[in-house]
Structure 1
Amino acid sequence: MSAELPAPVRALLDAANANDLGAFLAAFAADGVVDDWGREFHGADAIRTWSDGEFIGVEVSLEVTDVEQRGDETVVTAQVGGRGFNGPSHFAFRVAGDRVARMTIRA
């Protein structure tokens, strides 16, 4: 890995791998956003609904293979497993203070 994971990103990834929805949601800022290939989910209720169907709810696993810092984003390359999408993916994180402000999932 070429960069260190910021603590809020590490907390979010650990929560996802533990399939701990409460800790996953707590990793986001109050106005946090998930952008899943252009579909945006704003705030805890919308992120919870998205996650129930496509992330924690399908027992996601994320094996981090690389971390890069690109400006104000931390880009994580991970092998995704679980009962949903499986395969390599990139997650770009923007952090605000001690929480994740935005998680963007892209190719």
Structure 2
Amino acid sequence: MTHIATTFPTASTMGQANPAIAPHRWAPANLTHLARRFEKQSPQTLLNWAAATFGQDLAMATGFGPSGVVLMHMVAEMNGAQRRAKPTIFYLQTDLLFPETMAL
């Protein structure tokens, strides 16, 4: 079953339910720090951090290419508290799928 988001956070509502997504946390300096922190970490380490940080607000985009399929598998393999996050996975239209696939 596919979950399609129908509501999206706005500048005025971001961070109200989950302080982890407050806009000030994602200033360029903070993003640089996070990039350095996770640069040499495994994808699983980053996924576990994201699940712990964002909880039910975690989402992942995929175009169903090789890397997206691998990441979806890693999400499915998460366990414990991280697995309870149950991230929303959504499809990015890349125009690379076969017409037969799109017809499904």
Q: What's the TM-score once normalised by structure 1's chain length?
A: 0.24
Name the one with the larger strand percent: 1
Q: What's the TM-score once normalised by structure 2's chain length?
A: 0.24
In terms of Rg, which structure is larger? Answer: 2
Name the one with the larger helix percent: 2
